[in-house]
């Protein structure tokens, strides 16, 4: 059985890393941080003219990881990618390069919430960088939108799981009217079920 991959995308400070790691743990999936790969390969340099990291840097960075990721997916593993993914080319490169299906989720929240959350991190990037990345990510509508406003990380993971194939998730609790679980391979949508933009 071939596995699949998940992309968790969104602006700085929205909680992508926490959500991606929780999701990977829950699914017994392999977690991949795009930021760490860029940093490790020293490709995380911002093009001052474009005020962003070029799409080619993202593609070049992931190329070195693709053989192992491809093999894992062929063996039935699930991969969870965590990154801003503000370039469409970066997403399409992964889709074209990897076997199996993909599930792409765009986390949404007000800019003020992202700036506030970023300011509380040990390695915060500041209001200006958070605002720039927020605008870049917001320009690209791709995947299923998840409104993270007013939801904690566990609720967001529950919501994401409702869109994933054939996953047995036990209903654990009702929280603020949120009921998200799969049953008999049928998804039950989370509150404010978002629409797909693929």
Residue 188 has pLDDT above 70, yes or no: no
List pLDDT tens digits, range 60-71: 999 999 999 999
Question: What pLDDT does 166 receive?
Answer: 58
Q: Which tokens belong to 74?
A: 């062929």
pLDDT at 177: 41
pLDDT of 165: 81
- pLDDT tens-digit readout, 3-48: 999 999 999 999 999 999 999 999 999 999 999 999 999 988 888 8
Output the pTM of the full model.
Answer: 0.82
| Per-residue pLDDT at 182 exceeds 60 | no
Architecture of the domain spanning 4-187: 3-Layer(aba) Sandwich (3.40)
Q: Give the span between the Cα atoms of 168 and 78, in whole angstroms.
A: 14
Strands (E), 50-191: 78-83, 101-108, 144-147, 182-183, 186-187
pLDDT greater than 60 at residue 172: no
Longest dimension (CA), the chain: 51
pLDDT at 170: 44
- Determine the pLDDT at residue 145: 95
Cα-based distances in Å from 82 to 32, 105, 118:
6, 10, 16
Q: What is the mean pLDDT of the chain?
A: 84
In order of 71, 82, 96, 158, 163, the CA distances from 99 in angstroms are: 9, 18, 8, 25, 19
Instruction: For residue 51, name the pLDDT band (cuts at 50, 70, 90).
Output: confident
* DSSP characters over 55-83: HHHHHHHHHTTHHHHHHHHHTT-EEEEEE
Question: Looking at residue 131, what is its pLDDT?
Answer: 93
Q: Give the model's pLDDT for residue 190.
A: 55
What is the per-residue pLDDT across 74-116, written as a single tens digit (0 to 9) for each? 999 999 999 999 999 999 999 999 998 999 999 999 999 999 9
**pLDDT per position as a tens digit, 106-130:** 999 999 999 998 888 888 888 988 9
Question: Any idea where the domains of the chain sit in the sequence?
Answer: 4-187
As a whole number, mean pLDDT of residues 154-164 equals: 93
């Amino acid at each position: 059985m071939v596995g699949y991959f998940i992309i968790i995308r969104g602006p700085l400070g929205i909680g992508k890393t926490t959500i991606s790691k929780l999701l990977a743990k829950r699914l017994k999936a392999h977690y991949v941080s795009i930021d760490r790969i860029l940093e490790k390969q020293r490709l995380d340099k911002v093009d001052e003219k474009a005020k962003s990291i070029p799409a080619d840097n993202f593609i070049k960075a992931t190329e070195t990881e693709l053989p192992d990721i491809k093999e894992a997916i062929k063996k039935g593993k699930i991969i969870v990618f965590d990154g801003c993914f503000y370039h469409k080319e970066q997403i399409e490169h992964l889709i074209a390069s990897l076997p199996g299906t993909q599930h792409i989720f765009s986390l949404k929240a007000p800019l003020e919430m992202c700036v506030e959350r970023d300011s509380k991190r040990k390695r915060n990037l500041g209001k200006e960088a958070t605002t720039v990345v927020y605008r870049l990510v917001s320009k690209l509508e791709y995947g299923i939108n998840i409104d993270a406003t007013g939801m904690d990380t566990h609720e967001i993971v529950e919501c994401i799981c409702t869109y994933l194939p054939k996953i047995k998730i036990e209903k654990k609790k009702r929280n603020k009217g949120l009921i998200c679980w799969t049953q008999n391979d049928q998804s039950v949508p989370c509150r404010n079920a978002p629409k797909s933009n693929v």
